[in-house]
Amino acid sequence: MNGFEAQLKNRILGVVPHGIVTTADGQLSEWQHYEKAITHLPHVKAAAPFITTEGMIQSPGSLAPVLLQGINPENYPSSDLMTETVGRHVLSRLKTGAFNIILGGALAERLAVMPGDNIRVLVTEGSRFTPMGRVPSQRLFHVVGVFDMGSPVDDQIALMNIDDARRLLRYPADNITGWRVWLDDAFNTSLISQSDLPESLVLQDWRIDRGELFRAVAMEKHIMSLMLVLIILVAAFNILSSLVMIVMDKQGEVAILRTMGMNRSSVMHIFIIQGLWSGVFGGLLGAIAGLILSHYLNPLLNLIGLNFYMAAGGGGLPVDIEPLQIASIVIGALLMSFLATLYPAYRAASVRPAEALRYE
């Protein structure tokens, strides 16, 4: 579940803006004046001017909706996933006035186009009224590259130069949608409050469009955690029931030890240690076996002929091992094992020697 969430986070939120600082009406003028204030926001590691809008792309044989992103390649950080995937040399082909465009791989496949082909981009935001009615703004673009993130964004996003996007949308010369911000962690958007932003600006983060997907993944992780707790509780109940049977079987021996001077706390310690041994041995053995299985999961699946091409590039099931989570699970299992020993140990310490030895 951690690997699946991390893959979604990297492959989707690596392309979708973590946040866009803009105005309420979706256009920001004199955006250069806000650069210093935005780059100094908490958890912001980079920022760049940005234009985004929804539109349609038409090829000779197909038509598809698209989310257009107008960017300036020179302002993109080198650590950006798009820069790493496409390459700086491909992004640099998005020059002002060239009307070049980069498409997602799935989108290019649906449109049946490849680098070198021309496509028509249509947007309603820059439409105008004519004697023939309302006509959307449109322009021919030249496909110069294709990217493949291994996620749904491959079928949704197209990149173009920010000045070309401005001309397509008929924005004023100094207007953009807003500042795109890269955060140190995409999940830190909730830590940026309105008081941190310059006056009259708002932060539109990825949760508006992608929040439901990650909330669903978080709910699945919570359900998996509950299932894991129930499994450990069943195992702890087995410790409790086995110890109760041992106490009932060993009442005579316990009574003899009590008559020889052993106090109640020592009797309790004996059964607590016996129960904890099962919990410690099983918990540590299970943790080690689980780590080994997780680490070699994909080779083992390939060995038995089960191939899962879920990771980008067909690398198999994504695995993300978090030591703190593993430690908390092991400690929780040991704690449940300890609690399971308390009642049987108390029962053993409460044995009355006279009654236990009456029929011996």
The pLDDT, as a whole number, for residue 307 is 66
For residue 66, the cross-strand partners are: 55
Which domain range does residue 293 map to? Answer: 214-356
Strand partners, 159: 69, 102
Quickly state the pLDDT bin for 55 (edges 50, 70, 90). Answer: very high
- Asked if residue 140 has pLDDT above 90, the reply is yes
Query: The whole model's pTM is what?
Result: 0.73
How many whole angstroms separate alpha carbon 323 and alpha carbon 321? 6
Q: Which of 159, 174, 205 is the last residue of a domain?
A: 205
pLDDT for res 359: 61
pLDDT at 356: 66
Same structural domain for residues 219 and 192? no
Question: Residue range 197-221: average pLDDT?
Answer: 85
Q: Look at 142 and 310; give whichever has higher pLDDT.
A: 142
Cβ contact 353:253 at 8 Å? no
For residue 31, what is the DSSP state?
G
The larger pLDDT score, comparing residue 109 to residue 312, is at 109
Radius of gyration of the chain (CA): 31
Q: Which of 153, 171, 205 is the last residue of a domain?
A: 205
* Shared-domain flag, residues 177 and 61: yes
- 314 falls in which pLDDT band (50, 70, 90)? low
Please spell the DSSP secondary structure of 47-93, one letter per residue. EEEEEEEEEEEEETTEEEEEEEEEE-GGGS-TT-HHHHHH-HHHHTT
Which of the two residues, 141 and 173, has the higher pLDDT score? 141
Q: Which residue has the higher pLDDT, 262 or 126?
A: 262
Burial 271-287 (b: 16+ CB within 10 A, else e): bbebbbebbbebbeeee
- Same domain flag for 254 and 234: yes
Question: Quick one: pLDDT band at residue 331, thresholds 50, 70, 90?
Answer: very high
SS3 labels along 215-249: HHHHHHHHHHHHHHHHHHHHHHHHHHHHHHHHHHH
Residue 199 in any domain: the answer is: yes
Check whether residue 148 and residue 274 sit in a common domain. no
Predicted confidence (pLDDT) per residue in 157-200, tens digit: 999 999 999 999 988 888 899 999 998 888 888 888 777 788 88
Percent of the chain with pLDDT over 70: 95
Tell me if 221 is assigned to some domain: yes
Q: Averaged over 203-228, what is the pLDDT?
A: 87
- What is the pLDDT, as a whole number, of residue 347? 86
Specify the 3-state DSSP secondary structure of 207.
Answer: helix
Q: Verify that 188 and 309 share a domain, yes or no.
A: no
Angle of helix 264-295 relative to helix 207-249, nearest 10 degrees, comes to: 140
Chain position carrying tokens 């708002």: 202
Domain assignment of residue 84, yes or no? yes
Considering the domain architecture, whether residues 240 and 137 belong to the same structural domain is answered as: no
Q: Would residue 177 count as lying in a domain?
A: yes
Q: Does a structural domain hold residue 94?
A: yes
% of residues, the chain, pLDDT over 90: 28
Instruction: State how far the alpha carbon of 158 is from the alpha carbons of 17, 57, 73, 115, 194, in Å.
Output: 13, 9, 14, 13, 30
Residues in the chain, total: 360
Average pLDDT of 36-48?
Answer: 88
d(CA 228, CA 86): 40
205, 238, 255 — which closes off a domain?
205
Number of domains comprising the chain: 2
Buried residues in 65-103 as b, exposed as e (16+ CB within 10 A): ebbbbbbbbeebeeebbbeebbeeebbebbeeeebbbbb
Query: Pairing relation of β-strands 157-161 and 62-71?
Result: parallel
Question: What is the Cα–Cα distance from 164 to 22, expressed in whole angstroms?
Answer: 20
Q: Which residues pair with 134 in a beta bridge?
A: 129
Write out pLDDT tens, residues 242-257.
888 988 888 888 888 8
Let me know whether 189 and 333 are in one domain. Answer: no
What average pLDDT does range 220-228 have in this prediction? 91
Establish if 257 belongs to a structural domain.
Answer: yes
Which of 69, 119, 124 is CA-nearest to residue 94? 69
pLDDT, average across residues 214-238: 90
For CA atoms 219, 221, 223, 225, give the dihedral sign: negative
Query: From the CB of residue 181, how many other CB atoms can be counted at a distance below 10 Å?
Result: 24
| Predicted local confidence at residue 113, as pLDDT | 92
Mean predicted confidence (pLDDT) in 127-139 = 77
- One domain, residues 198 and 285: no
Do 249 and 170 share a domain, yes or no? no
Q: Which residue has the higher pLDDT, 137 or 356?
A: 137
Contact 10, 82 (CB under 8 A): no
Confidence of residue 360 (pLDDT cuts 50, 70, 90): low
For residue 289, pLDDT beyond 90? yes
10 Å Cβ neighbour count for 157?
Answer: 21
> Are both 259 and 153 inside the same structural domain?
no
Let me know whether 151 and 275 are in one domain.
no
180 inside domain = yes
The number of beta carbons lying within 10 Å of the beta carbon of residue 12 is 20
Task: Please answer whether residues 42 and 197 qualify as being in contact, where contact means their C-beta atoms are separated by less than 8 angstroms.
Answer: no
User: pLDDT digits over 65-121, tens only?
Assistant: 999 999 988 888 877 888 888 888 888 899 988 999 999 989 999 999 999 999 999
